[in-house]
Amino acid sequence: MLTRKDFEGKERPTWCPGCGNFGILNAVKMALAEQNIAPHQILIVTGIGCGSKLPHYMKVNGFHTLHGRPVAVATGARLANHGLRVMVVHGDGDGYGEGLSHFLNAARRNINIVDLVQDNRVYGLTRGQYSPTSEQGKRTPTTPEGSIDGPVQPLAMAISAGATFVSRGYSGELKHLAWIIGEALKHPGYALVDVLQPCVTWNRAYAYDFYNERVYKLEDEAGYDPTDRTAAWEKAYEWGERIPIGIFYRGEPLPTYEEQVPGLKAGPLVEQPLEKLRPEQIEALQAEYI
Amino acid sequence: MTTNNMTFRLGGAAGDGVESSGAGLCQALARGGLHVFGLPDYYSRIRGGHNFFSVRVSDQPLYSHEEPVHLLLALTEETIPRHRDKIVNGGAIVYDSSQISPEQVAGNADYKSALSRGVQFLPVPLSEMAKEKAGTELARNTLALGVAAGLTGFDLEPMESVIRQNFARKGQAVVDGNLAVIEAGYREGQKYAADFPFKLERRPDAPPRMVLNGTDAFSLGALAGGCRFVAGYPMTPGSLALHWFAARAAKYGVAIKHAEDEIAALNMAIGAGYVGARAMVPTSGGGFSLMVEALGLAGITEIPVVIYNAQRPGPATGLPTRQEQSDLLFMLHASQGEFARFILAPGTHEGCFVAGWRALNLADKYQTPALVLSDHYLAVAIRTLELDAFDFEAVEIERGELLAQEDLDALEEPYLRYRLTPSGVSPRAVPGHPKAVYVSTANEHDESGAISEEAANRTAQVDKRMRKMEGMAREVEGPSWYGPEEAELTFLCWGSTYGPLREAVDRLNEKQSGRANMLHFSALHPFPREATEAALQRTKRTIMVEGNATGQLETLLRARTGRAVDGAIHRYDGRAFTPEYILARVSEEV
């Protein structure tokens, strides 16, 4: 049986004391241990941002890529080796800003990845600019008079795009978050895990106190049915005195993209023998042109 | 009377089936034992405009199209004035007299001068006859090919076999209609055959030959070389390679992805390469522009990937369906920062095949991007090739220092993905083994893959990555010679200019023995400096011929060797070089 310790890394995190990323890091380790997925059996693909350094701080196959592009990289990794578990971890600027199109495309394709978005509603590593999920009117170095853009609605967008697993966790609720990540790992197909995460340096209005007073768990809510897509879509807009966390939508699993690719019928691509063309294959190819 | 040495040109509007008819004609002529060089010329639109397809025929292998036209098949009025001046003396224009009136044909001052040169204007009611024989005017292009066969005396049988094959999926009625149409056209052409001096004769003893374009050649090479992952986004003319792989992906076990954009395409290929697949992205310059950041990711994380850029004229949208060679310096310098990369620029279909598999090997052996520069001309030009033109036996699948399961099982020390080695290449493990769990990062990193901003480490890792260039330089071929060993003029060129320039060299030497030879560069980075310097020792007067305005290889040659050329010929009007274009400018240059 694996434990969190099996995922201990050598590097010490460079995050600020109190950063929500510590909770996310622990929850990821707990979920992997609980699901019995060893460090060499999963690839964590990240973007660029404070939180995207996560694989450096644990023991796991990691690919720390470009800002906004980890979902595309993860898609390629899954298509080339669908025997390998793949998880994406990146921030809200990465996932919902620069990478917005990859997010929606991965959801509609049903690529079998867990897409965990560290949603602190601000840019951290570049020092406090407003992000795609920042509230309208936010004053930051790039919006000194207040931002004009309205925030994106990632959960509603994921549901609209066709995702069959759409969830939100909170880095201050470690066990709950680990449970959600575990459920996402079990889900065949694209699974969004949006994580509310305080940024104690650049977004103090949304610190632990703010979330602790407001979050509630959907599974404790009498009558909430996560298989009801319309209800989930409406719930995705609830934001105010009460902020829901948990699994918003869990639909009937659909066939994953990878299992429908004609060229992958024989099994993971990288496990197929890579050999020269056989004489009859060469003849067939030449015959196409005669 | 001339036999087996002529050019057909079929002209019409987009949507008239000019391209498919031209390709069909190439196939039929090849089945008749003749060599062909076919070239489509089309606008970036789906209907209307003016498209044409040239088919040059010979008993000898052809490397280029040429400008003179012996038989013009005009489906539209516009075709006639556009190409009339290219018709040789005694040549003919067959026009669709159901659509084009004699007044329209004659209503132009150039008409008389064409007549005086012996150009014949032959009215054939193509549309009406097609409708009568096949029930649709759409078959008029097939009918025009029948007229061409009748005029030139070419056996109808190879054409019929192509019709049977190409129309089979549309049903027997369509096959029969087209067979009836081509026969009617043939009889119509025979009426004028006595006065038409350009003839075609079947060569029944010729071996069966392939008819294909440079996209086919490159893709065949890449598949043979183990390319198993292809991602791309449609952009002319790079998407032809995407189509090629898509059509064969299920059969050959290739994962193919039409991605949401080119940024995603290259990042997907990098993800696939990271886990161990041999990956390639086909694109054109605009798509490559979007891929530039990911190119740097492959550079710093040392992931093999092949990028195939079929160039077209830019900047931005430029001329989408036309020819230019202007991405060389862009490909060379693309991305912030510095890292090793290959740039190959094959000049022929044979070269495209080799580049297809070699690029995959080079990328894997040096764990870095290998870029293949083709262009619109090479991507779409159709040639006949002998069956052994592509040496499948010589194809090797070399993965370089990729650690196998046994190697990893035997590991005793902690695995260092970016270990400092004398060659700069570090043994590579792909994710999945418990003894080689590591992180790769777009940040600068130490030997283990951990982020590092230490000065000494930075220098060591940059040096390691750049050290690969020493081995890479030994992999690339020097420029190849064509023509006599000694010559008054030496032409320099790269990529697809090979074909038209080769023919220009032949023609110069036919007139005057020892007049010209040429040096063709098919590997441009690392630049084959020593081989180039040695080759240039043998030259008297040098002329660079390249399809761009600024002289990109000329710039590179100066940068790498300090050598200047004595003259230069450029073309950047969106059209491919022709032997005639080059020869006209040689006389200006010299």
> Tens digit of pLDDT for each residue in A105-130?
999 999 999 999 999 999 999 999 99
Provide DSSP, B263-331. Answer: HHHHHHHHHHHHTT--EEEEE-HHHHHHHHHHHHHHHHHT--EEEEEEE-S-STT--TTS-----HHHH
Cβ contacts (< 8 Å) between A290 and chain B: which residues?
30-31, 208-211, 387
User: Which residue type, as a one-letter code, is found at position B128?
Assistant: E
- pLDDT for res B80: 93
What's A201's domain CATH number? 3.40.50.970
A2 touches B at CB < 8 Å: no
User: Which B residues in the span 482-511 are in contact with A, Cβ-Cβ below 8 Å?
Assistant: none
Q: What is the CATH number of domain B212-394?
A: 3.40.50.970
B480-589 classified as CATH 3.40.50.920: yes
pLDDT tens string B391-411 = 999 999 999 999 999 999 999
Q: What is the CATH number of domain B2-205?
A: 3.40.920.10
Q: Do A56 and B269 touch (CB under 8 A)?
A: no
Site of tokens 């004489």: A279
CA distance A70 to chain B (A): 8
- pLDDT for res A274: 96
Cβ contacts (< 8 Å) between A56 and chain B: which residues?
439, 441, 450-451
Nearest CA in chain A to B161: A290
- pLDDT for res A54: 98
Distance CA B238, CA B212 (A): 16
A55 touches B at CB < 8 Å: yes
Cβ contacts (< 8 Å) between B23 and chain A: which residues?
none
Helix/strand/coil for A223: coil
Distance CA B530, CA A107 (A): 53
What ipTM describes this predicted complex?
Answer: 0.98
- pLDDT for res A84: 98
Decide: B160 and B20 in contact? Cβ < 8 Å: no
B279 touches A at CB < 8 Å: yes
Distance CA B452, CA B439 (A): 13
CA distance A175 to chain B (A): 26
CA distance B278 to chain A (A): 9
- pLDDT for res B590: 67
Nearest CA in chain B to A99: B264
- pLDDT for res B558: 98
Distance CA A30, CA A13 (A): 17
* Count of alpha carbons within 13 angstroms of residue A29, beta-carbon side: 19
- Give me the average pLDDT of each 10-residue run along chain B (590 residues): 96 93 97 98 88 97 98 96 94 97 83 92 97 95 97 97 95 96 97 97 97 98 98 97 98 98 98 98 98 98 98 97 98 98 98 98 98 98 98 98 97 97 98 98 98 98 98 98 97 98 98 98 98 98 98 98 97 98 89
Q: Would you kindly state where each structural domain of chain B is located, as residue ranges?
A: 2-205, 212-394, 405-475, 480-589
Question: Which of A43, A56, A76 lies closest to B231 in CB terms?
Answer: A76
Cβ contacts (< 8 Å) between A64 and chain B: which residues?
439-443, 451
Residue A256: pLDDT band (50, 70, 90) is: very high
Q: What is the pTM of this model?
A: 0.97
CA-closest candidate to residue A240, choices A217, A210, A220, A219: A210
Q: Do B252 and A263 touch (CB under 8 A)?
A: yes
CA-closest candidate to residue A127, choices A16, A217, A216, A232: A16
Rounded to 5°, the CA angle B15-B17-B20 comes to 135
Cβ contacts (< 8 Å) between A277 and chain B: which residues?
223-224, 392, 395
B21 is written with which tokens? Answer: 């008819």
User: Which B residues in the span 427-486 are in contact with A, Cβ-Cβ below 8 Å?
Assistant: 430-434, 436-443, 450-451
Domains in chain A, number? 1
- pLDDT for res B139: 95
Q: Do A75 and B268 touch (CB under 8 A)?
A: yes
Nearest CA in chain B to A11: B450
Distance CA A64, CA A53 (A): 7
SS3 content of chain A, % helix, strand, coil (to 5): 40, 20, 40
Distance of CA B497 to the CA centre of its chain: 11
Q: Do domains B2-205 and B480-589 have the same CATH topology?
A: no
Distance of CA A257 to the CA centre of its chain: 17
User: Domain of A56?
Assistant: 4-287
Nearest CA in chain B to A13: B451
Q: Do A73 and B432 touch (CB under 8 A)?
A: no
Cβ contacts (< 8 Å) between B263 and chain A: which residues?
69, 72
- pLDDT for res B63: 98
B363 touches A at CB < 8 Å: no
B494 is written with which tokens? Answer: 């790269």
B402 touches A at CB < 8 Å: no
User: Which A residues in the span 261-280 are in contact with B, Cβ-Cβ below 8 Å?
Assistant: 261-266, 269-270, 272, 274-277
Mean pLDDT of A203-225: 96
**Mutation for B interface: A32, A270, A280, most B CBs within 10 A:** A270
pLDDT tens string A72-87 = 999 999 999 999 999 9
Distance CA A53, CA A56 (A): 6
